[in-house]
Amino acid sequence: MQTLAKNAEVRAITIDGTNYTLAAGTSDVNSGAIDTMGYGGVMIVAAVGTMAASSSVDSKLQQSSDNGSSDDYSDILGSALTQVGATDDDKLLIWDVRVPKKRYLRAVFTRGDGGNATINSLIAILYNPAQGAPTYGATVKAIETFSEPAEGTA
């Protein structure tokens, strides 16, 4: 039986290159790199937390062939999402990139200076592995795949 867990790799990604949670603030940040080598696509999910009055978050993706300096990254056309505003507490931002053109991706968050905005997490789900089942990295503590018996059976 095929399951998502056996056909995709899930990774926690640092939001600012260092931290997995971004505290309330107004600074702009670039996420850690997402290496897509060996996968046909990646879904990136950012969880926005508490948004203060007058706050906002703009977001987009960038790509790079070698994950070098910041200058090596370029915007992915069409990846900018609708702005998250002050009334958008606890919303998800989702990108689904089929067949990335370059090996490395990162999320770019521009937080407006009208009020503090938090970003709670950033998850990458890499899918369509080129060879075999994915290998989970250090950010995954445990994974279990099972089927629950049908109701009325033991």
Q: What is the pLDDT of residues 109-135, one digit of tens each?
A: 999 878 899 999 999 999 999 887 787
Domains of the chain: 4-129 (2.60.120.1110)
> What b/e string do you get for 74-96 counting C-beta neighbours within 10 Å, with b at 16 or more?
eebeebeeeebbeebeeeebebe
Give the residue-averaged pLDDT of 86-112. Answer: 95
Q: What is the mean pLDDT of the chain?
A: 90
Q: What is the pLDDT of residues 38-77, one digit of tens each?
A: 999 999 999 999 999 999 999 999 999 998 766 789 999 9
Lookup: tokens for 39: 């996968």
Give me the pLDDT at residue 93, please: 97
Q: Which residue has the tokens 């998502």?
A: 4
Give me the pLDDT at residue 95, please: 97
Give me the pLDDT at residue 125, please: 96
